[in-house]
Copies of this chain bind each other. A is one copy, B any other.
Amino acid sequence: MADQSPMDKIVSLAKRRGFVFQSSEVYGGLGSVWDYGPLGVALKRNIKDRWWTSLVQARDDIEGLDAAILMHPKVWEASGHVSGFTDPLVDCRTCKARFRADKLDDARCPQKPSKVPGAHTTCELTEPRSFNLMFRTFMGPMEETASVVYLRPETAQGIYVNYQNVLTSSRQKVPFGIAQIGKAFRNEITPGNFIFRTREFEQMEMQFFVKPGTDEEWFEQWRTIRMDWHHALGLNPAKLRWHEHGDGELAHYAKAAYDIEYEFPFGWQEIEGIHNRTDFDLGRHQEASGRKLEYFDQAANERYLPYVVETSAGADRVTLTTMVDAYREEDVDGEVRVVMGFHPQVAPVKAAVLPLMKKDGHPELARELYRSLRARFAVDYDDGGAIGRRYRRQDEIGTPWCITIDGETAADRSVTIRHRDSMLQDRIGLDHVAVWLTERLEASS
């Protein structure tokens, strides 16, 4: 274990314990596509639910939406994706490989792996050509231009084209927001770093529609709210920072953009972007569709195209962040203890019920407790092996509390609760466990 890199340790634990598996692994895997196993799907669901609850349920100025992945191709013409969502690619006439022209320094010739393809002695490169990152497919029975549709490269456009329907049906007034969680697809040339950059990924996006002129104030407010959200996930604040997009970096639609970055073992990387998209997108859709998308403010008797402040987080990236941030190794009595120190609210398993022995009524009491808890909490039952070994198994998947049924339980219906981080134990009543867990989970929110 000591000779593995930090990311290798996480990838290995993720597979061994059922967080993340390589897609189609029995067929040798599909490049940079990953499947979430039992613990990974629980972790990711908890993160998505936390995002959804904080934005949609707990606020009265944000509505939820779930737009389809397939959209009318005119959406992507209007948004600029058909013409402009491209990477510059060069081919090598000698080795036949293809590289990103703007990332040549990081590339290696497949035939001479120590060589950079840019060096003319190694690869004979063509001029750069634009390569669109959208996945194309055909809808309907015929494969022809007329039936081309794209897998959406971002969920945001699904919100913009539904903005008027949501506004009308929900009776909201500007300022208000629309939140959505969903899959998006980008045919990246250089995906990588486990689930960090993948071709199929899930976004958690919120578009907040505001009156022009109030956009800068709202932009600052959303920066604060979103950074607070990541802190409340329990992430190490020293590993979170802001990156402001300079003039050369700003997307064509953005007036201002800040990334929330996390320090991964592979460097500081974006996990969420806050963008002032102005009225660019609504303006483009208004022009392309011929449909008036202006907002009429009755109180002020004025009409305007709202500005949009976008908060766009990667669900897979935040999931990876929680795993990287939670991972730690501790020396306990000369042995290495691996702990995933997840925030209790995102931990895939909240508590494990462990009968100390497989006799003396321990299993019966443990099953009784387990059954009463699982209707309300994600709980594990484990009766396999020595108790110390079972604690370690739970530490490694980040279970905050282990509840042990022992000789005293039968006598006085008390159990021990062992805390993952401190390894200290409390003794409480068996019948009080559900309330105890509820209080602990609410206190940690």
Contact = CB atoms under 8 A, between A and B. Distances in A.
Interface of A: 15-18, 21, 23-31, 33-42, 44, 57-58, 60, 63-72, 74-75, 89, 98, 131, 135-142, 149, 151, 158, 161-162, 164-166, 169-171, 183, 185, 187, 189, 199-200, 285, 288-289, 291, 293, 370, 374-375, 378, 381, 384
B38 A71 contact: no
B135 A137 contact: yes
A65 B37 contact: yes
B165 A374 contact: no
Contacts of A37: 63, 65, 162, 165-166, 169-170
A188 to B, nearest CB: 9
Given A66-B36, A199-B139, A18 B165 contact: yes
A158 B22 CA distance: 11
A268 B136 CA distance: 36
Contacts of A72: 23-24, 27-30
Contacts of A31: 139-140
Contacts of A135: 137-139
Nearest to A78: B27
Given A63-B38, A199-B70, A378-B57, A26 B285 contact: yes
Given A137-B135, A139-B31, A41 B25 contact: no
Contacts of A166: 18, 37-38
B60 A169 contact: no
22 contacts: A16-B169, A23-B67, A26-B285, A26-B289, A31-B139, A33-B70, A35-B162, A36-B66, A36-B67, A37-B63, A37-B165, A38-B63, A41-B66, A42-B64, A44-B66, A60-B370, A60-B374, A89-B141, A98-B142, A139-B187, A171-B384, A183-B183
A26 B161 contact: yes
Contact of A38 (B164, B170, B291): B170
Contacts of A98: 141-142
A141 B44 CA distance: 30
Nearest to A59: B374
Nearest to A29: B72
Contacts of A142: 98
Contacts of A161: 24-27
